[in-house]
Amino acid sequence: MKIPFSYIARNLWTRRLTTLLTAGGMALVVFVFSAVLMLDAGLKKTLVGTGSFDNVILLRQGVQTEIQSSVSREQAALVETNPAVARNSKGEAQVSKEIVVLIGAPKKGDTKPQNVVVRGLTELGAGLRPQVKLIEGRWFAPGASEIVVGKSVNSGFENMELGQTARFAGRDWRVVGVFDGGSSGFDSEAWGDVEQIGQAFRRFGYSSVIARLVDRNHFDRLKSDIEADIRLKLDVKVEPLFYEEQSKALSTFLSILGLALSFIFSIGAIIGAAITMYAAVANRTGEIGTLRALGFRRSSILVAFLGESILLALVGGVVGLAVASVLQLFTVSTLNFTSFSQLSFGFHLTPMIVLQTLVFAAVMGIVGGFLPSVRAARMEIVDSLRAG
Amino acid sequence: MIFQLIIKNIFRARLRSLLTVIGLVVAVVAFGLLRTVVDAWYAGSEASAPNRLITRNAISLTFTMPTYYKDRIRAVDGVTQISTSNWFGGIYQEPKNFFPQFAVTLPTHFQLYPEYIMPPEQMDAMMKDRTGCLIGRALADQYNLKIGDTIPLQGTIYPGNWEFTVRGIYDGRDEGTVTRQFFFHWDYLNERVKISQPRFADRAGVFVVSIKDPQSAADMSQKIDAEFKNSTAETLTETEKAFQLGFVAQSEAIVAAIRVVSFVVILIILAVVANTMAMTARERTSEYATLKALGFGPTFVASLIVGESLTLTLLGGLLGIGLTFPVISGFKGTIGAIFPVFRVSQETLVYQFFAVLTVGLLAAIVPAIRSARIKIVDGLRHVA
């Protein structure tokens, strides 16, 4: 026969202070655990959202980032003529030849320069990123020293508000618009006219070439064409794959650090649960004897105490998760090791993370409560009744 | 007598005391580890000298400067030495084997960094070999490299396959010196770039400048930058420390998060110890009432609890502090690749000690007050 759930729950309620402290410890561990998972999910969401499966990116052979890459004008022109590349109604190749550079710009309320990506492109290039939408002002005019900035750059850096002027590469650039990158990596960039950026930074060639494919199946065709042409010493990648590689180092760092921390911290919380449960068993020796005398089996006692420990852990888990979910209101801006530039991303709570976190909490409860529950289950009726 | 009572009390609930102490040890070690990780972030800025300035392109580090700037800077009054330094960013076997590689002016660069200690004959050998390289002790140990070994690197910024022969291994003057680095001749880099990508030849990444008077660093920085005002490549000169701190600032959010989390572990252990003390005090309510009935004052009862809490936490804390050293050196072996310098600072030890003391005191406050206030009659009646 099973011991009723209300017995388990009431035991926790009776020892409120102890329950509060133990569950509080667990909540803190769960908070750290879920915060890290959310941060990693946010980073992945941001970078996955940056790329589209219909687009490919071409970079110089062997480089990992757009900053390091250089593509000559001749090479870029050759890419445009490839039949795998989509064309619009006017017959223009859907290819964006871009210059990507890093500038040092101070964050709001700070003087230390942080690396920000400046991307030179044309209206056509902006069209290849349908997730990017202008929310304030207008797009930069071709041939003018004007820039439009991503949401995160707009709110996070000095002199990046609409109408303000940012100075870099020996020129003043007027901020004429703000765009929303749809929580993608573009939120952390500033965009300007490719020819103007090229002149100011004295870049004759391009950094990267983005091409829209006729359809996804044409990728292999394009890839083999490019590999066969000895004039094109370029690597070609589908955009999402490229952006995934960009986030790999940071993502690995965050998850290893976070999981190692959660593991170490959970030892503390498990010990807290064990102490609480040992005390619960010791204080209720008489009760255990009575339950056994009433006919409850050893297994029921084991389940009841283990259940109490799991319930305790889940209370902590839910509280920790609730606090962590508030983090979704915040964004983090940090250096992406691979691209060497600031990337801002949010905490992103997914159903999978909720599940993982609750399982993690339950496991802490099981590990912490197991030995005390076994002790409770193994008590002899006579001894325990006498001890009580 | 109070100490005997405290010790006896600790040994009464042996399992609970043992678990609490283990929890404390884990928490203190984790706290120490996190503080050390944060310190490791600042290793570069800690290792910088006040008389060294770094001049770079004002746009950002990814932009270079013409090499003739070197002579112009050298001519500024107060500059003693100058070395060109280009970030090479090559891949050794696979991308995860990351270590910093610089093409520098030799032997000047090593004169600028007197903390790199190397036998003079090794520098002589290096000067005779254009494709030679110098590596730090930590790097040599990690990949088991000896003098005469060949290091192949796959270029990323400077394409192609590069091979270098180890001509010297330098040691750090003290533990704070970064010895996980790789240096080779800037001239060799430039010579190859001239052939493969002539447009990128004769360009310097940064200049490391040493000045006569460290006090004049701000002045000197302005003087150097004024030289190149309104040129095609304006410069930004700052002290080496500021330059290094700029790197840390880039990943400020992560450093701040680790810092916050290091205090979370203290809060977790505070909850555990407070729980232990609350349970202890509750179980012994009738005993405290008996003590009071015998004539002991509330202060005695309270100090019994505070004493027990402090003894427990100090025991766990000191064990944890002791264990921090082997744990850190164990970690150094596995993640040394990320952090060039990884060691426990004195500050960390002090922090650990005070954290433990605070936990011991805070955990005892509520139970101590409660027990001190208890009425004898209620206490005697109390059932745990």
- Distance (Å, whole) CA A173 – CA A169: 10
Nearest to B250 among A62, A68, A115 (CB): A115
At residue A336, the pLDDT reads: 86
Hey, CA dihedral for B23, B24, B29, B31, is it positive or negative? Answer: positive
Q: Quick check: A62 and B272 CB within 8 A?
A: no
And the tokens for A135? 């929310």
**Worst-scoring range by mean pLDDT, A157-161, A192-196, A335-339, B37-41?**
A335-339
Q: Which pLDDT tens digit goes with each residue over B350-367? A: 999 999 999 999 999 999
Q: Looking at the complex, does the CB of residue A28 fall below 8 Å from at least one CB of chain B? A: yes
At residue B337, the pLDDT reads: 60
Residue spans of the domains in chain A: they are 5-48+246-387, 62-232
- Distance (Å, whole) CA B376 – CA B382: 10
In the predicted structure, residue A82 carries a pLDDT above the cut 80: yes
Pick the closest to residue B306 from B348, B350, B365 (CA basis).
Answer: B365
Q: Quick check: A268 and B62 CB within 8 A?
A: no
Identify all chain B residues contacting A204, using CB atoms and an 8 Å cutoff: 199
Pick the closest to residue A381 from A297, A260, A309, A302 (CA basis).
Answer: A297
Identify all chain B residues contacting A254, using CB atoms and an 8 Å cutoff: 254
Pick the closest to residue B114 from B167, B165, B174 (CA basis).
Answer: B174
Considering the entire predicted model, what is its pTM? 0.86
Q: Which of residues 283-302 of A touch B (CB under 8 A)?
A: 283
Residue spans of the domains in chain B: they are 2-43+253-381, 52-212
Q: Which pLDDT tens digit goes with each residue over A333-354? A: 888 888 888 888 899 999 999 9
B10 CA: distance to closest CA in chain A (Å): 14
Q: Quick check: B253 and A332 CB within 8 A?
A: yes
At residue A68, the pLDDT reads: 84
Give yes or no for a contact between B251 and A342, defined as CB atoms under 8 angstroms apart: no
**Residue by residue, what is the 3-state secondary structure of chain B?**
CHHHHHHHHHHHCHHHHHHHHHHHHHHHHHHHHHHHHHHHHCHHHHCCCCCEEEEEECCCCCCCEECCHHHHHHCCCCEEEEEEEEECCCECCCCCCCCCEEEECCCHHHHHCCCEECCHHHHHHHHHCCCEEEEEHHHHHHHCCCCCCEEEEEECCCCEEEEEEEEEEEEECCCCCCCCCEEEEHHHHHHHHHHHCHHHCCEECEEEEEECCHHHHHHHHHHHHHHCCCCCCCEEEEEHHHHHHHHHHHCHHHHHHHHHHHHHHHHHHHHHHHHHHHHHHHHCHHHHHHHHHCCCCHHHHHHHHHHHHHHHHHHHHHHHHHHHHHHHHHHHHHHCCCCCCCCCCHHHHHHHHHHHHHHHHHHHHHHHHHHHHCCHHHHHHCCC
Give yes or no for a contact between A36 and B283, defined as CB atoms under 8 angstroms apart: no
Q: Which pLDDT tens digit goes with each residue over A174-215? A: 999 999 998 889 999 999 999 999 999 888 889 999 999 998
Nearest to A275 among B268, B272, B283 (CB): B272
The stretch B57-83 carries a mean pLDDT of 92
ipTM, 2 decimals? 0.81
Residue in B59, B273, B366 to test binding to A, most A beta-carbons within 10 Å: B59
- Res. A109 pLDDT band, cuts 50 70 90: confident
In the predicted structure, residue B312 carries a pLDDT above the cut 70: yes
Q: Looking at the complex, does the CB of residue A62 fall below 8 Å from at least one CB of chain B? A: yes
Q: Quick check: A104 and B19 CB within 8 A?
A: no
Identify all chain B residues contacting A115, using CB atoms and an 8 Å cutoff: 60-62, 250
In the predicted structure, residue A63 carries a pLDDT above the cut 90: no
Q: Quick check: A31 and B265 CB within 8 A?
A: no
At residue A11, the pLDDT reads: 86
In the predicted structure, residue A384 carries a pLDDT above the cut 90: no
Tokens 């590596």 belong to which residue? B135
Q: Which of residues 356-385 of A touch B (CB under 8 A)?
A: none
Q: Which pLDDT tens digit goes with each residue over B196-234? A: 888 888 999 999 999 999 899 989 999 999 999 888 889
Q: Looking at the complex, does the CB of residue A333 fall below 8 Å from at least one CB of chain B? A: yes
Identify all chain B residues contacting A24, using CB atoms and an 8 Å cutoff: 271
